[in-house]
Amino acid sequence: MMTLHTLNPIPNLLGERVMPLAPQLTLANGQRWIAQHYLRYQHSVESVSALLAQIDFDVHTPLFAGQDANGVYLQVGLIGRENYDRSNTLRAHKLVYGRKWRIDADTPTSEIIQTAFLAIKKAREHEVRELLTVRNGAGKTSAAFSNHHDLPLLTQQRDELRATARPAGAANVTATVLAQLATLRFAQRQIELLQVVELAGERVLLDFQLGAAPLARQLEGDFPEFAQLSFSVLLPVAQLHQLPYALMDALIAHSDRHVDETFRFRGFARFSRENAIQAIADLSLQTRPYARDLADAQFEQIFRANNYEVDASRAPALGAGELGRKNRQLIEQYANLLGHMPQGYVLTTNREQRA
């Protein structure tokens, strides 16, 4: 039986099945559809591969689907240059991989597509974090925002790492900002201060632009969406020492917006801000006439049983040792907690009653 809501003529490949007695929708434009919440899913590495093949982003970001002993996963590849090589020569391309994102068999198709979207964002964020560098007093450069630092060591050294706020005062804002910018680079570009706008004496709006990259970096052409980028950050005057974090936030936000506008499934930029949010809301509401659909007692039973089964299957184990104790203590703070409890969880009062 062909799944009505998909363009693919082989629904088996997409891992989708229509629930028995599921109602059909007639949309405002006359198109007939079966809502995704009335489908059952049994995805496999083949169906995930078929979905990823319908996603387009850019020539630097291949998507992979695989399966190992722990199940099906998707993974992002990035083709670029070694971030830690800051020489003035052209660098060879290198293929690196992000983490594996696990895909349960009963994951809805839309959620798999959205997982790929998020995986691309996070893989790019990993790279962006390595590109904002800090130079110390000895003139050495560190990727201080990268994800490769030793967290247990940082925890041990927490007292040494605590920033001391140094309120600059409105008169010293520009000097304070310029002093910090002198130690910062993004992809070997200077970060230029364009304008300082004081807001009620307590906050400042800072306008920046990324300078030109070294010639070798320009010829390589990586991350062209950052070329000559202008952006702004807003900071309290008393927190100017947090400027590097605000810059990092702004650069990651720019990367995320690039993904929003570039990521496409079947040619559609689902997350673009050129889509009218009111139109999306109206279409969503058309697919959810629950009062009508669940008036069918037989279908209501099928629908609720399916949802229960899926939700129950996603409940994790409570955890062993200290983790289990902490999870139990947290859960038991809430009286009459709804939802599926973790596997292995039994209320303390119930255990005491049985004893």
Pairing verdict, β 25-26 and 191-199: unpaired
Q: Strands of 71-80's sheet, edge to edge?
A: 63-68, 71-80, 94-103
Per-residue pLDDT tens for 183-231? 999 999 999 999 999 998 789 999 999 999 888 888 888 899 999 999 9
d(CA 198, CA 83): 36
**pLDDT tens track for 317-339:** 999 999 999 999 999 999 999 99
Asked whether the predicted pLDDT for residue 309 surpasses 60, the reply is yes
Helices and strands in the chain: count of H runs, count of E runs? 13, 15
Find the radius of gyration of the CA atoms of the chain: 26
- Which pLDDT score, from 0 to 100, does residue 3 have? 43
DSSP category for residue 348 = H
Largest CA distance in the chain: 76
Q: Answer yes or no: are the C-beta atoms of 226 and 254 closer than 8 Å.
A: yes
187 by Cβ neighbours in 10 Å (0-12 / 13-18 / 19+) ranks as buried
Dist. CA 195–CA 204, nearest whole Å: 10
pLDDT for res 16: 92
pLDDT band at 6 (very low <50, low <70, confident <90, very high): very low
Q: What angle do CA 171, 174, 180 make, to 5 degrees?
A: 130
**Which one-letter DSSP state was computed for residue 202?**
T
